[in-house]
Amino acid sequence: MISLKGITKVYEMGDIQVKALDGIDLDIQEHEFICVMGASGSGKSTLMNIIGCLDRPTDGFYSLDGSDVSALTNKELADIRNKKVGFVFQTFNLLPRMTAKRNVELPLIYSGDNDKDRKRRTALALEKVELSDRAKHKPNELSGGQRQRVAIARALVNDPSILFADEPTGNLDSRTGLAIMALFQKLHKEGATIVMVTHEMDIALHASRIIHLKDGKIIGDEKIENPKDAEAEYREVANLDVDDLSDAISKHE
């Protein structure tokens, strides 16, 4: 699905050049769940921005679903961002005056979908993140975990080929973070390809592969044979004896 060869990113800061990425070679297969780890300044967010077509590399080759991304126009990159990839950010990035439903619906409005199709796809996305009953609530009426699930629904509404998440648990308490990781694991089991940036090893161990970055270079690439089960961890931490994770989440929130 994704192939990076010799990807370099250099930022000009006055007379100084800062090399954020330095010759990255990386292949990501369809249906993988990957976490990119590294200290602040290691290049992990820059790498995700390039893979997600939010930024262009200074040098190197990037292929997404067989297309040479480096040769695409700005409009073609915008089309990829709108139709092929979904983004989830640490700060949720929800519009405060809009309901959960309207926030999720926005990408479909930009895509030009008709009203009937928008409503159907928005409802399905909210159902997938178990938030149908909060569709008419605004962000300030939702908990942190609920707001992040709205953001995930928005990322999923266009049925993207790949889901990117940049520190999606960074603004959440540990228990709510486990609930969000359980949702990502559920989406992965249903066939989603996920690339997540995190600096927390406890979070990364829920993925099936961990890429380690340092000074803009990959210094480690490890397969996780038995990823941690976030749902089981959530139940243990919450000290709840329930059969359904959504019940546990609603009781917590």
pLDDT at 30: 92
Residues 6+ apart with CB under 8 A from 66: none
pLDDT at 90: 81
Q: Are strands 59-64 and 162-166 parallel, antiparallel or unpaired?
A: unpaired
Domain for residue 20, yes or no?
no
Range of the domain at 200: 29-56+73-252
Per-residue pLDDT of the chain (253 residues; tens, 9 = 90+): 899 999 999 998 888 889 999 999 999 999 999 999 998 889 998 999 999 888 889 999 999 888 888 788 888 888 888 788 889 888 888 999 999 999 999 888 877 778 888 899 999 999 988 899 999 999 999 999 899 999 999 998 888 889 999 988 888 888 888 989 999 999 999 889 999 999 889 999 999 999 999 999 999 999 999 999 998 888 888 775 444 555 544 544 4
Domain for residue 232, yes or no?
yes
Token couple for 240: 């709840």
Extract long-range pairs of 71-78: CB within 8 Å, 24+ residues apart.
77/53
Domain for residue 92, yes or no?
yes
CATH code of the domain in which 234 resides: 3.40.50.300
Domain for residue 85, yes or no?
yes
How many domains would you assign to the chain?
Answer: 1
Helices (H) and strands (E) in the chain, counts: 9, 10
pLDDT at 47: 93
